[in-house]
Amino acid sequence: MDQDHASQSKITRDFMGGDRHVGGRANQQDNLACLTTPDMRRQFLVVADGVGGHWGGEMAAQAVIETAKKMFPASLDELGRPAEFLRAFCTQAGLEIQLRAAQEGEQAYATVVALLTDGARAYWAHVGDSRLYCFRDDVLLHQTQDHSLVQSLFEQGQITAEERATHPDRNKVLFALGMANGVQPTLGEMTLTPDLKFLLCTDGFWTQVGVPEMPAILSAADLDFAASVWVRQAARRGGSQSDNIALALWRPPTRTQKGWSLFR
What would the pLDDT profile of 218-229 be if each residue is shown by its tens digit?
999 999 999 999
Q: What is the pLDDT of residue 147?
A: 85
The stretches in the chain having pLDDT less than 50 are 1-7, 256-264
Report the alpha-carbon distance of residue 112 to residue 17 in Å, rounded.
Answer: 17
Structural contact between residues 201 and 131, judged by C-beta atoms closer than 8 angstroms: yes
Q: pLDDT per residue over 89-129, tens digit each?
A: 999 999 999 999 999 999 999 999 999 999 899 999 999 99
At 260 the pLDDT is: 40
| pLDDT for position 152 | 59
How many angstroms separate the CA atoms of 114 and 48, rounded?
9
- Structural domains in the chain? 3-146+175-250 (3.60.40.10)
Q: Is 82 exposed, middle or buried (0-12, 13-18, 19+ CB in 10 A)?
A: buried
Alpha-carbon Rg of the chain, whole angstroms? 18
Q: Note whether 203 and 243 are within 8 A (CB).
A: yes
Q: Is the dihedral of CA 43, 115, 201, 181 positive or negative?
A: negative
CA distance 44 to 34: 6
User: What burial class does residue 93 get, using C-beta atoms within 10 Å of its C-beta: 0-12 exposed, 13-18 middle, 19+ buried?
Assistant: buried
